[in-house]
Chains A and B, each alone.
Chain A
Amino acid sequence: MLRVEGLYAAYGELEVLHGVSLTVEAGQFVSVIGPNGAGKTTLLRVLSGLHPTTRGAVVFDGEPITGFPPDLICERGFVHVPEGRLLFPGMSVREHLELGAYNRRARTHLREQMEHIFALFPILRQRHAQLAGTLSGGEQQMLAIARALMAKPLLLALDEPSLGLAPRMAAEIFAALRQLNHEGLTILLISQEVTQALLMAHRAYVLETGRVILDGPGPALLHNAQIVASYLGIAATS
């Protein structure tokens, strides 16, 4: 579904990705974990065309998409839920969902996709006329995911969807992602909730200072001594 080969990216002179390679098979749940500043967000921004790549190749659904503008990448089915949700505070929930289906491919399935999303997040149906700025943090995250789902993704990429949420809300978000994956949606998750991210992952990648230093089946990494030492010691106490 997604093959990334030797990806480099920089902010001005400062290179933050030094040849990242990873593979996501269709139907898989893949997590990318790593400390702050490892380049996780940059990686997603490069993949979805929001940030330019200096070298390397991205192949999505059998075709190279390196250097494509974000709207084309989105239309092909790689849909990105950005960090910090990035909602439109002055627009209603329904307007967000309609906007999510901006591309032509998604537009034709607008009604049924909206029903599907309301089934997944019933709270959004209740709040459909409400302005996004008035939603709670968890509801906003649901809306950000719902808006992305409206684009009919083949692969849904999420950047820290549980950031700043109450634990119960975070659990709800992860449950929804698991359900989407069971329904066949390919998921690429970036998260600092290491335990959750690894437990759910068919495959996980550990990114440190712009390089993949470790990868393998998620639950297996959970028992990796290096991971336990670097991440879980902290994660367990927080």
Chain B
Amino acid sequence: MSRAVAAGLAVVLLIFPWVGTGEYPLALLYSTFMYVALAVAWNVIGGFAGYLSFGHAAFFGLGGYTTGFFLVRAGLSPFLTAPLGAAVAAAFAALAGYPCLRLRGPYFAVVTMILGLAVRAVVLNLPWTGAAEGLWMTLPPWEPIVARRAFYYAMLAVALVTVLAGRAVRLGKIGVGLEAIREDEEAAQSIGVPVVRLKMSALILSAGLTGLAGGIYAYDRSYIHPDFMFDLHLSVLAVLMALLGGRQSWAGPILGAVVVRLVDEALTVRVGTEAARIIFGLGLALVIVLLPDGVLPYLERLRWRAPRPPAAVPAAQARP
């Protein structure tokens, strides 16, 4: 059933650019794919392991700057060098992650946020990254609609790879280990879960996937600047989308990202950016207060509850 839905969705998304679709819907879906990739990638460390990073913009920006750098200096297409951007982001995560992951809870959140801001400050002041002037890239000489299609497919591929990776982690042995770390790291350690190795792997994978998205995004903008490549807003957005959709599952952040992106777009178009931000923020705050586990677990519970008569609930569950 769900396999059929996934296959159907894949077919629709694949042929979507060829059914007379204009540039706007393609751009909207492109950015939705990017949000999905960001939310799902963030969730590997933030959701599964419970380490709330507020510094993922650093990985995004590093991915973007790496691909930009290779295009400007070596003339290589970012469609090809995006994996290199992912590798640089992952390598940075490996270096920075070891000390950061010794901290927990709010300490980890604050340190990663500072890390994100620090990387931005460094890039802003390095001459070979374009510093405060930013970095200009030349796009291929394509018609606008052709370029939109190309970026649509590229970001769809990034989102797909990210979702499949996130799913594999969650459903695999690593996912169980990360869940144990999230529930009680001390206990996980005492029963032999290799906590340091798992946390590092989760962060590195999360950073790499985020860097991959950053690479494609940077090329699409064709001009990159630390202000939006290392934007704190992006870090916060990744957290919010995952929280909204539900951090425990691999699919939750997909839902969160799609809802955030589409609602954000609708509000921006209908009521203007400023008002949209306020409405949006209030809505998110409400969801987080009312549904702390996110929307997806709530929907699942509704689905399970409906068809079952109360007698089917095992008596044991009634115990206090």
**Measuring CB to CB, which residues of chain A are less than 8 angstroms from any residue of chain B?**
48, 50, 69-71, 73-75, 79-82, 86-91, 95, 98-100, 102-103, 126-127, 129-130, 134, 136, 147-148, 151
Please give, as numbers and ranges, the residues of chain A lying within 8 Å of B188 by CB-CB distance: 99
Given contacts A88-B187, A91-B183, 6 further A-B contacts (CB under 8 A): A70-B190, A71-B193, A71-B195, A71-B197, A99-B176, A99-B193
A95 to B186, CA, bound (A): 17
Q: Does B305 contact A (CB under 8 A)?
A: no
Please give, as numbers and ranges, the residues of chain B lying within 8 Å of A71 by CB-CB distance: 189, 192-195, 197
Q: How far is the CB of A41 from chain B (nearest CB, A)?
A: 12
Known: A99-B176, A102-B177, A130-B316. A70 touches B189 (CB 8 A): yes
Please give, as numbers and ranges, the residues of chain A lying within 8 Å of B197 by CB-CB distance: 71
A74 B192 Cβ-Cβ under 8 A: yes
A103 to B189, CA, bound (A): 12
Q: Does B301 contact A (CB under 8 A)?
A: no
Q: How far is the CB of B56 from chain A (nearest CB, A)?
A: 25
**Can you list 15 A-B pairs with a CB-CB distance of less than 8 A?**
A50-B189, A50-B190, A73-B192, A79-B191, A79-B192, A82-B187, A86-B186, A89-B183, A98-B176, A102-B191, A102-B192, A103-B192, A130-B317, A134-B319, A151-B192
Q: How far is the CB of B174 from chain A (nearest CB, A)?
A: 10
Q: How far is the CB of A39 from chain B (nearest CB, A)?
A: 18
A103 to B320, CA, bound (A): 33
In the A-B complex, the 10 residue pairs with the smallest Cβ-Cβ separation, listed nearest first, are: A74-B192, A86-B187, A88-B183, A71-B194, A82-B190, A71-B192, A70-B189, A80-B190, A102-B193, A103-B192
Q: Does B45 contact A (CB under 8 A)?
A: no
Query: Contact check: which of A88, A100, A103, A136 meets B184 at CB < 8 Å?
Result: A88
Q: Does B14 contact A (CB under 8 A)?
A: no
Please give, as numbers and ranges, the residues of chain B lying within 8 Å of A130 by CB-CB distance: 316-317
Please give, as numbers and ranges, the residues of chain A lying within 8 Å of B190 by CB-CB distance: 48, 50, 70, 74, 80-82, 86
Please give, as numbers and ranges, the residues of chain A lying within 8 Å of B320 by CB-CB distance: 134
Chain B CB count within 10 A is highest, among A86, A87, A103, A148, for: A86
Q: Does B180 contact A (CB under 8 A)?
A: yes
A148 to B189, CA, bound (A): 12
Please give, as numbers and ranges, the residues of chain A lying within 8 Å of B164 by CB-CB distance: none
Q: How far is the CB of A3 from chain B (nearest CB, A)?
A: 21
Residue of B nearest to A159 (CB): B190
Residue of B nearest to A75 (CB): B192
Please give, as numbers and ranges, the residues of chain A lying within 8 Å of B319 by CB-CB distance: 134, 136
Q: Does B118 contact A (CB under 8 A)?
A: no
A129 to B190, CA, bound (A): 23
A90 to B292, CA, bound (A): 14
A134 B176 Cβ-Cβ under 8 A: no
A73 to B191, CA, bound (A): 10
- Please encode chain B, from 143 to 187, with 1 for each CB lying within 8 Å of some chain A CB and 0 for all others: 000000000000000000000000000000100110110011011
Residue of A nearest to B186 (CB): A86
B191 A148 Cβ-Cβ under 8 A: yes
Residue of B nearest to A48 (CB): B190
Query: Contact check: which of B176, B187, B192, B316 meets A87 at CB < 8 Å?
Result: B187
Q: Does B196 contact A (CB under 8 A)?
A: yes
A70 B192 Cβ-Cβ under 8 A: yes
Residue of B nearest to A83 (CB): B190
Q: How far is the CB of A24 from chain B (nearest CB, A)?
A: 19
Please give, as numbers and ranges, the residues of chain B lying within 8 Å of A136 by CB-CB distance: 319
Chain B CB count within 10 A is highest, among A88, A90, A95, for: A88
Chain A CB count within 10 A is highest, among B188, B191, B316, for: B191
Please give, as numbers and ranges, the residues of chain B lying within 8 Å of A147 by CB-CB distance: 191
B180 A88 Cβ-Cβ under 8 A: yes
Residue of B nearest to A129 (CB): B314
A151 to B320, CA, bound (A): 30
A86 to B186, CA, bound (A): 8
A151 to B187, CA, bound (A): 14
Residue of A nearest to B181 (CB): A88
A69 B196 Cβ-Cβ under 8 A: yes
A99 B191 Cβ-Cβ under 8 A: yes
